[in-house]
Structure 1
């Protein structure tokens, strides 16, 4: 004790850890185990020194001290065991991997810790000390082996039994709380450090049940009985409420209204140590996972009583003070609490709040250890649902967020709810309440919709009631997570309007974190399922709509934005000042707000927490706020481009200004905004765009826009930036230029763009190189560039360079660009003819063929585009190439690669691209399709796939490929031709056979493509083919007839192969087959005459009668 008394933590650095360990070892050597009073004192010394000074014990001394403690537990009287276990807990803390040889003694079948932590153990202090030691053993050490599965299971069951136990009358509240906290800490350590995955339903249900019980432990005014296990169920789970004594709840209620002392409790935010988190009633710190919030969001924060609660705002702490990364484990003096009844009650409530926080922290870890699809089976146990008529609402996480008197606990509950909502989009997508359901039962979709509505209601209620900035931030973040995952298109409108109107005032809140999270929420609203009609109406609202006095800063920002807009050099000249049909009646409020936050000087009225950002405090708003405004602006442009396009040039100016700043993060998001503006214009000008030509951004304005960018900071960013991510985004932005605008840029600017991208393709950074390779793949499709043989050659060489990069991402982007490059070769071949083919170097063509063949053996992301490129190059080859000995081997290898890919176990995208590629190969008349051995293999692979592949899009592409050869001789022998015919007949009969329900949506396209292929074969058939075709029709004609009639009668559609056929064209195809076959059949004599044409004429007659007479529908095919 002398050491502890004379050395303070401040000057302890002069003592080496090994000296302390040596003192402790010597003390143990001096005190024999029969001197029990001294043994107790030595253990107190171990506990005190290790805990207070965070001593790291070396392995040799640890072994000695652990042996001493274990022997003492076996030999000394029971009255010493608590002190010995406390010393043991301090020794094993963060030393679990070094304790492996002692685990049988501690955690084995008759292990000491199991004995002392047994539920039958009458001494609760002893049980608590044992559980704490066990929890400290479960702490993980990075890079060190973790507990074996058997020991993990033993510990988990021990912690679970502790949490399931009830407090008996002889145990005081504080001791019981500390016991629960130790068990919760142990479970969290197992889940976090041991990467324990909860798989068994009974294990999950039992843990969630105790966590739910502990989440509400000691919550004033509420007492619930939770079953020993929860079970996955779609319907709300029953909570049996226990009657609560009035006298229990009154002190808590009145206490919430009292002012509390402004003085922070001693030791409240102590450093991480070996002691229990509840020794002084100080609130536990929840660990790194609970604190992933900008700028230290989790602080004391008031709850959801509609009145501001002074009692909850009292223990304020600087938001940027240190956050321990684990549970807070250091004790403080118990003298903070008086011995009066009120002081004891206050202490008990503090310990109970710690249990609730510990349970919520453990729940957060649990969520990460359970598959989401399993977790959502317990949705109704933790997420509120609208109460039925006359029945109370079930308790949920929102109960804590609204009613818990502890501000930190409310914030924790909101964080857990956020984690619950994260990734819930697929689960929530079943919700539907757009129409009124009048049924005897409530569908699951309506139940989920009701839960979503109740979440909106509760969170908005909490928002209005909360006055603490830190908890407000959590509420708004939780709302943003909800908005990002809810299926609003399937819900009655109005939910987003309420969120929108209630969040507006918080954009000018005094706390910067609240303002940032409010912008995040607005970003979620404008990005969810965009464009939503409800959000379009909100964006068109007058700027003052929904604002109260606390939001008075916003209209002034709006008018400033308008003034700034008018001051721009092109104001009054822009064709966008009043483009036909696209200017909203009043400028978009959100757009102007974001621009003003990004580009205008800060407002003095709302920045009292901005001292955290001194470097930016002088001119602009704090950096996090400006970054969030930039992201919201980019989301707004992406989802609602027509709303933003009347500010097109002004937004370009904003992007330019951001890219000129010194802060790389501002530059980065400026580049992302630029990319979204470019992409918005590209989407508008697509051939299939729903936007009328007169409502699009005029090409002349787009030229002005890109001229401004290329004369601004964009080239410098691309050339000189030390930040790879920024260069990558700038590359992506440059690739979003409209091709029509690019062709109108000055020649030197066009050359600048191309030169920059070709140069960046040699970057050493894989991110930049991948972006440059992709951008070249975009540029190669530009009409003004693709006909330039020199540019095609330069781009091809650059892409081939990237295709051999060691980075898989670079190779994947290069393969995509290679596919585009080879698409260009085909376009040029069809439009420019032989002149372009002759200009392109044979050597380059051979390199393309070999590189694409090699890439087709790479991983699937590379392979899918490599096979596309192979098909194009093989289609492009001329007779001179096919005859060239240098090409012969490369052609053979590339064809074998394609055929192997069609029948491989690769992803479906790879396989359908390979089928498509073989179809392209069949288009090249220079390739010897009829007699080559590879042709037989190709037809065989496609015939197999069209019958049996589980993916219908692969079947469609294979049927399309089989219908491409234009001459009968291309199909080879009669035997091969008839094998293809038979495969297609079988495929048609199996066109509804699938185990995957999602494939059914492609079945119509599959039948269409197979029928086209069958008619194509009939139009080419020879007399020698007819006997086998006739036999096939005798056996299967009745089965396929309804499908053929359905094909003839279906309305014109563009099938999966991209081929559009109308009714008349289909009829002409059938008539052409009849005419062709009739001519052949007339030439046949006697018994050899096979009347296939009669079958087709019967089909045509049936079709004509049904069409002309508006007869009853033709009986559908089997199963349909």
Structure 2
């Protein structure tokens, strides 16, 4: 019989004894002894057995029998923590009430076991114990009594602290605020009054246990009350230097938020100016050295058996005087370490604006001196703490601060003046960032441990990605780059990876701090260093340095994305790197080599489009051809596209092919182009991995724009078939809608260029129907659908409109676009305005369509839309018709609507919208001039009347816009047209005086003349 069966037989026998009435107390003792003698490492107790067994035991046991109660507590702890059982609510309540009575009646030596049993019951069960919350946590309750400072039994206080920590488990239903606040008060009382009468339990053990419980409370993401936050941070700052050599721990009763942050704004960082942060990499988990307890995540990851946490072991220290001193230092450093772990958990639990106002107490804005006195801050711990584990956790906290509060770091601005009595928040933040740089510089120089150096580099990467160097003291980035560059050839590979990561973060700052990055980096030297790490001939060395080579490829990709490398100077090295890495056996190397090829191709395409020098263009084109023909299209890229076992590689190869650029693509041999098109079309069909299909569909959307494929009707129809098939699948809908809009835009371009390519009407009808179905979506696919409809309306000719299906499509499309003007997504509204403008510019459609609803809808958006970009596009669309006949009887309505919009354009706006407000005013002036340039004789009376009504608005708008040449030219055309159309000069005197005076710039005379006209 195996051990499990034997223990189940023992359980059955005990179960039978307890079922006999009356139950002898001696029998109960025997039952407890036999059950506690079982091995709980194996599962032999079911939830039902545990419920009945424990309830029968407490009914048979008096609370005053210390020995039996101790055995029962041990059994409860073993069953609840080591057996996979779930007790019923009634059983939980009965057991906990019994144990709470035992705490009041039993002898002191039994109490620690009883408290441990309580902890085992409450772990992950607090939500089910609501009736007993008051007895546990209220003033005068069990835990407050056990945690009082004069409690002589230190082990009992430790057990109570463990029980308090067991009440909060990540993932469980949250407790009410009063419960959590009460727990926090109890823990802070323990940390504030650290007196312990029991010499067998060090004060540091109580502190560490309380700090662990704090971490568990914060891990539930409970928001600390403002009135508790100051006291909490004061206690933690006081304990962060507990036992710190050469430092006296200064008690901080309560911290107050910095007055500089009372009205702290929430900075908005535009997407195009966000620094590119390197992607985080999974690293091997390293087991922490020493026995200093759990991290905040340990409890959740280790199951029920770890609810007590790990206690510090002192067995490694001898009993000699030096051993006792080492033990004490170990315990003190454990306190400091758990303080920083608690602060890390607090960062994620408290609102960032409220918490940022307190961080100024933890980070200095003056230099950290080497001699006394020293400001006690996180930076001092990083530089001077003798325990490497404490320094590591302090670095992790600093990394969290720099990452979590990155938007507030953007407030920094170095004024350049010497320190004064008052410092603004921007200057203070700039000084703090400067001190962080100085501290990390000193730490990097002094550190010899590779693991510590890696953590320093990780922190530096977070600091770099959040620092606005263009507004900071000059030289910070240059010194930082010099420190990191010296570690590129470090013997430890992880240090090399960290160095490359930091340099990648520096390159990622290009959008906002290009001048500082270019001054501190030497891109060509960096390229040479990365190439030397990638072009390693020794196979064994290449395999061992895979992580370094991946990081080097990522850094090269960022350098090209930031336009920091000269294409012609770097081409040879890039070609060699890409060719070798595409043949590498490691998937990550191939993947990032393809990304590097794509980044280089995008930069090359941008340079080709920007250059006007024929010789330079030919040189760049030859460079692009060499790159693609010798590196990618000799077989490597085709092999990646055809390898169905590596969908990630297939998707990246499609994305890379989409970046080749029109000019390079058109210059490639036809057979290579046909192979690529065939492979991508195949990957976009049904039956392929979703990620790969999305990438292939996006690639086809880019290829549509290339000149050699734009007039290839068969290719366009193949793309259309792929898109129509993909639109039916939700996971492909977004990319397919974008490709559909690109495809229809190419068709519209064919119409603009006067191409004679005949596109089948059935194909056009299918595209339009698909776009109409997409228009019902409530996301960015709707914006793509609106754009597609506008392009189709621009493409249709008189011959198309003769077909019934196309005619119905036009009517439905116009109605759909009008509805799009009322969409919730502003991009949809903007696209709807643009598309309606395209429709109004198509004379064939306007001739057979009632444009009144279109013009009314555009005028409504022009006056009432809250988004100024949409209003600008609406004003542009209203001047799309190129003939007076296109407006019909609505000309006067549009004329007065534009003048009324001038008044709406002058309403106060946010300062960030001032630029758009000026653009709106300019566009309104252009639209007004456009209508006047098309006006005919019958419109003169309406022009006269409206000009007098809106004289002041017209004057103010044109006064601000006349500095632009395009508006002066439009104004001249309007003036000349009115002069031709007016038979009687007196009839148009008001308007002609207005236009002539504006055109001549004589605004003072204009005011006087307009006043005299009104008097007459």
TM over 0.5: same fold?
yes
Q: Is the 8 A contact 2:221 2:349 kept in 1?
A: yes
Which residue of structure 2 aligns with residue 258 of structure 1?
none
Q: Does 1:953 align with 2:883?
A: no
1:806, distance to aligned residue in structure 2 (A): 1.2
CA distance in 2, matches of 1:332, 1:1043: 76
* 1:990 aligned counterpart, secondary structure: helix
Which residue of structure 2 aligns with residue 177 of structure 1?
204
CA distance in 1, matches of 2:620, 2:602: 15
CA distance in 2, matches of 1:292, 1:40: 50
Residue 211 to residue 919, structure 1, CA distance change in 2 (3 Å): farther
Which of 472, 475, 483 aligns to 2:456? It is 475
Q: Is the 8 A contact 1:649 1:705 kept in 2?
A: no
Which residue of structure 1 aligns with residue 626 of structure 2?
704
Q: CA RMSD in A?
A: 3.7
Q: Is the 8 A contact 1:1018 1:1077 kept in 2?
A: yes
CA distance in 1, matches of 2:692, 2:199: 63
* 1:686 aligned counterpart, secondary structure: helix
Paired residue total: 942
Q: Does 1:831 align with 2:759?
A: no
Q: Does 1:348 align with 2:341?
A: no
Which of 98, 102, 113 aligns to 1:72? It is 102
Q: Is the 8 A contact 2:154 2:196 kept in 1?
A: no
1:779, distance to aligned residue in structure 2 (A): 0.5
Matching of residues 550-561 of structure 1 within 5 Å:
none
Which of 667, 674, 679 aligns to 1:744? It is 667
Residue 117 to residue 739, structure 1, CA distance change in 2 (3 Å): same
Q: Is the 8 A contact 2:382 2:394 kept in 1?
A: yes
Q: Is the 8 A contact 1:383 1:398 kept in 2?
A: yes
Which of 907, 910, 918 aligns to 2:828? It is 910
Which of 50, 56, 81 aligns to 2:84? It is 56
Q: Is the 8 A contact 2:152 2:197 kept in 1?
A: no
Q: Does 1:418 align with 2:399?
A: yes
Which of 268, 275, 296 aligns to 2:285? It is 296
Q: Is the 8 A contact 1:951 1:999 kept in 2?
A: no
Q: Is the 8 A contact 2:415 2:427 kept in 1?
A: no
1:731, distance to aligned residue in structure 2 (A): 1.0
CA distance in 2, matches of 1:22, 1:505: 69
1:1040, distance to aligned residue in structure 2 (A): 2.6
CA distance in 2, matches of 1:91, 1:171: 27
CA distance in 2, matches of 1:119, 1:870: 76
Residue 22 to residue 404, structure 1, CA distance change in 2 (3 Å): farther
Residue 696 to residue 1043, structure 1, CA distance change in 2 (3 Å): farther
CA distance in 2, matches of 1:173, 1:353: 19
1:769, distance to aligned residue in structure 2 (A): 1.6
CA distance in 2, matches of 1:445, 1:532: 21
* 1:394 aligned counterpart, secondary structure: coil
CA distance in 2, matches of 1:299, 1:803: 51
Which residue of structure 2 aligns with residue 853 of structure 1?
772
- Structure 1: gaps (5+ residues): 237-290, 301-313, 542-587, 603-615, 1053-1060, 1108-1120
Which of 62, 67, 73 aligns to 1:32? It is 62
1:1071, distance to aligned residue in structure 2 (A): 3.0
Matching of residues 711-1110 of structure 1 within 5 Å:
711-762=634-685, 764-807=688-731, 810-833=732-755, 835-836=756-757, 839-906=758-825, 908-928=826-846, 932=850, 935-973=851-889, 976-1050=890-964, 1052=965, 1061=966, 1066-1082=967-983, 1091-1103=990-1002
The alignment's TM-score, normalised by the length of structure 1, stands at 0.77
1:740, distance to aligned residue in structure 2 (A): 1.3
1:648, distance to aligned residue in structure 2 (A): 2.0
Deviations 1:867-887 (A, max 9, x none): 111111111111233332212
CA distance in 2, matches of 1:846, 1:27: 80
1:204, distance to aligned residue in structure 2 (A): 4.2
1:415, distance to aligned residue in structure 2 (A): 0.6
Q: Is the 8 A contact 2:151 2:197 kept in 1?
A: no
The alignment's TM-score, normalised by the length of structure 2, stands at 0.84
Deviations 1:130-158 (A, max 9, x none): 33212102123x5x544455544443444
Q: Is the 8 A contact 1:930 1:970 kept in 2?
A: no
1:14, distance to aligned residue in structure 2 (A): 8.0
* 2:376 aligned counterpart, secondary structure: coil
Which residue of structure 1 aligns with residue 24 of structure 2?
none
Q: Is the 8 A contact 1:40 1:83 kept in 2?
A: yes
CA distance in 1, matches of 2:954, 2:466: 45
CA distance in 1, matches of 2:53, 2:319: 37
Residue 864 to residue 122, structure 1, CA distance change in 2 (3 Å): farther
Deviations 1:1033-1063 (A, max 9, x none): 223212331321332223x4xxxxxxxx3xx
* 2:438 aligned counterpart, secondary structure: helix
- Structure 2: gaps (5+ residues): 1-31, 263-279, 1007-1016
CA distance in 1, matches of 2:585, 2:819: 53
Q: Is the 8 A contact 1:496 1:535 kept in 2?
A: yes
Which residue of structure 1 aligns with residue 1009 of structure 2?
none
CA distance in 1, matches of 2:829, 2:227: 42
More displaced stretch, 591-600 vs 227-236: 227-236
Matching of residues 136-285 of structure 1 within 5 Å:
136-140=166-170, 142=171, 145-148=173-176, 150-163=178-191, 165-168=192-195, 170=197, 175-192=202-219, 194-197=220-223, 201-222=226-247, 223-234=249-260
More displaced stretch, 388-397 vs 756-765: 388-397
Which residue of structure 2 aligns with residue 264 of structure 1?
none
1:982, distance to aligned residue in structure 2 (A): 2.8
Which of 122, 146, 162 aligns to 1:132? It is 162
Residue 50 to residue 703, structure 1, CA distance change in 2 (3 Å): same
Q: Is the 8 A contact 1:648 1:677 kept in 2?
A: no
CA distance in 1, matches of 2:46, 2:33: 16
CA distance in 2, matches of 1:84, 1:852: 70
CA distance in 2, matches of 1:73, 1:736: 73
CA distance in 2, matches of 1:874, 1:652: 45
Q: Is the 8 A contact 2:43 2:83 kept in 1?
A: no
Deviations 1:668-713 (A, max 9, x none): 21221121121121221123x6999638852122112111211132
